[in-house]
Amino acid sequence: MALVSAKEMLTKAKAGKYAVGQFNINNLEWTKAILLTAQELNSPVILGVSEGAGKYMCGYKTVVGMVNGMLEELKITVPVALHLDHGSYDGALACIAAGFSSVMFDGSHYPIAENLEKTKELVGICDSKGISIEAEVGSIGGEEDGVVGAGECADPGECKQIADLGVTMLAAGIGNIHGKYPDNWAGLSFETLDAIQQKTGDMPLVLHGGTGIPEDMIKKAISLGVAKINVNTECQWAFQEATRKYIEEGKDKAGKGFDPRKLLAPGTEAIKATVKTKMELFGSVGKA
């Protein structure tokens, strides 16, 4: 199946009270692990690409070529969206030109008037091409690939202004943070999320910083309108731990254990296991 916009899968998720996972990709192993797991579990999925990861993978055209190739060669039939994560205005345009099926424009660091203006322009372009677009209000805390956010709670009135521009989905800061949550983290602000959902109605809401959020909070967030949850760091930790174990056990020194296809296999399997756990928690299994 060819790449699809995230609109239909997220509209269904919001109505069905589950969430679709966005898993960030870094290379071939990441992409293959996520696609195979989604297919095995019959789950829709969103592949996230940050601008930094796009550069690392030799540019957006390379990413589009790799993902499209895998969809065909691995016979993937579940809905897959290829999505720019925390994009700049120019980054969004570049991804649209390269063949992404979905983009995020993160204008949360601009004054709201400028965020509105730039988001509106991109909504027009995405609409004309059938591409889904995510906007952001109220920055997500922490640092991801050089994108640093203060972690404020979004203003529900501003969320409504952005939603009314016709974006497909909306990321709103509700105390969530990219990467590891500090021990003194106050948790998600469900009061803010509830107020945002009341103002934005059917709009699928996006929860960034999915790594390390306790299960009960994830479930409550879904019940309050979150239909897309982003996970990045947790797959990186899983890959790192499995790779470390392989080397610490000396397996890279035994026989042909140095072969990259063997060396990277435990990490790839660990990503699959992490993605499976998240899809089960988010409720997207069997929803393709």
DSSP string, 67-130: HHHHHHHTT--S-EEEEEEEE-HHHHHHHHHHT-SEEEE--TTS-HHHHHHHHHHHHHHHHHHT
Question: Token pair of 25, please?
Answer: 């990709």
- CB-wise, 138 or 246, nearer to ligand 13P? 138
Q: Which residues bind ligand 13P (CB under 6 A)?
A: 24, 48, 85-86, 144, 178-179, 208-211, 230-234
CA-CA distance, 84 to 260, in Å (whole number)? 28
| Residue 241 or 249 having the CB closest to ligand 13P | 241
Q: CA–CA separation, 215 vs 209, rounded Å?
A: 13
Report, in Å, the least distance between residue 230 CB and ligand 13P: 3
Closest to ligand 13P by CB, 155 vs 234, is: 234
CB of 1 to ligand 13P, least distance (A): 24
- Is the distance from CB of 3 to CB of 208 less than 8 angstroms? no
Length of the chain: 288
Nearest residue (CB) to ligand 13P, 156 versus 209: 209
Least spacing, CB of residue 240 vs ligand 13P, in Å? 13
Q: Give the residue numbers annotated as catalytic, written as ranges.
A: 85
How many CB atoms lie under 10 A from the CB of residue 211? 22
Compare residues 44 and 246 and give the one whose CB is closer to ligand 13P: 44
End-to-end Cα distance, the chain: 12
CA distances from 65 to 58, 215, 248, 269 (A): 11, 35, 35, 23
Residues 6+ apart with CB under 8 A from 191: none
Rounded to a whole number of angstroms, the minimum distance from the CB of residue 53 to ligand 13P is 10
Nearest-approach distance from CB 259 to ligand 13P, in angstroms: 30
